[in-house]
Homo-oligomer: A and B are copies of this chain.
Amino acid sequence: MSPAQAGSVDLSVRLGPLRLEHPLLDASGTFDLLEYARRYDGDYFADFPYSAYVPKTVTADARTGNPAPRVTETPAGMINAIGLENPGIERWIAGLPEWARLRQPVIVSVGGNTPEQYAAVVAALEAHMASAPADEVPRIEGYELNVSCPNVSSGLQIGADPAATAGVVGACRPLTTRFLLAKLTPNVGDVTLIARAAVDAGADALSLVNTFKAMVLDAQTLRPFLGNRTGGLCGPAIKPIALRMVAEVAQALPGVPVVGMGGVMSGLDALEFIACGATAVAVGAANFTALEAPQRILSELRDELNARGLASPAAARGLALGA
């Protein structure tokens, strides 16, 4: 019996067109289905803990990523500079049959440095789904546009510029009728400006936050520790900033579903994001603390709702907003 059925609480949520068994997704880049399946005793596809699967960001071209070291711990957090290592959309599509039998919906995280690169990924997937036998493709029901990559023209993050963000969303919107999310970066002054630009350009929903640009030094050499010099900070350390940003976006764009994330380690953390207006909540670094982290967080979320007499996540949504 999956945790979602237990207890008096109905954990199911509607995220745009998606009906999810519960509000917890994995945060892109922190959870690899096949790696879990390989290490699992039973059938991990049957016991998949998240209500939808967000794979690591895929780009049009293959990327080898950043030089090592790529990760280390920080006070109540961690920093990473993976550099979007991925096999490129072509080999990525070739791998789809390996996990086509996943029951849960899949939201494909898409990256790139130009609107064209994002569009190429979406186009390739739509073309593949139109032609490939159904049993060789997972249930891809949406896209998450990861606009945290640097803009090749401006050098800055695409997601730091409303126009560039709108450009990426606008390039992908015509190519698919599926659920389209824009994943926002927190490295901005006013996140609601970017959020509105993404929605005006056709995004159905928003996910936030991605990581905070940060730097860690090697204590011996006093040089930047990461091979990439800077990286992205995440984990409990940044949760209070992430909650503030989710609340700002939920308040500024009331009708738009939000996937909240940033430092979710417990069911209470997840509930806090929901109270700040999130419809679903993504779990990132917590996946690195225990292989059963999603199962634990989900049952804690159910208990937290129960304890407050809240019948569903929807009953908690937005409780922290307004006067």
Contacts and interface: CB of A to CB of B under 8 A. Distances in A.
Contacts of A22: none
Interface string A232-257: 01011111110110010000000000
Interface string A136-153: 000000000000000000
B236 A240 contact: no
B74 A239 contact: yes
A222 interface: yes
A201 to B, nearest CB: 19
A185 B124 CA distance: 42
Contacts of A272: 217, 222
B241 A214 contact: yes
A39 interface: no
A319 B237 contact: no
Contacts of A187: 189
A246 to B, nearest CB: 9
A54 interface: no
A188 interface: yes
B160 A189 contact: yes
A156 B188 CA distance: 13
A212 B239 CA distance: 11
Task: Give the bracket for the number of chain A residues in contact with chain B.
Answer: 35 or more
Interface stretch (A60-68, A75-83, A96-104): A75-83
Contacts of A188: 188-189
A87 to B, nearest CB: 30
A297 interface: no
Contacts of A308: 222
A274 to B, nearest CB: 9
A217 B275 contact: yes
Given A190-B160, A222-B316, A237-B76, A244 B275 contact: no
A268 interface: yes
A58 interface: no
B222 A275 contact: yes
B76 A236 contact: yes
Contacts of A244: 213-215, 230
A171 interface: no
7 contacts: A74-B240, A212-B241, A213-B241, A214-B241, A219-B268, A224-B320, A237-B238
Given A214-B240, A215-B320, A217-B275, 13 more contacts: A75-B235, A75-B263, A76-B76, A160-B189, A214-B243, A215-B240, A215-B243, A217-B276, A217-B320, A222-B320, A223-B319, A230-B244, A236-B237
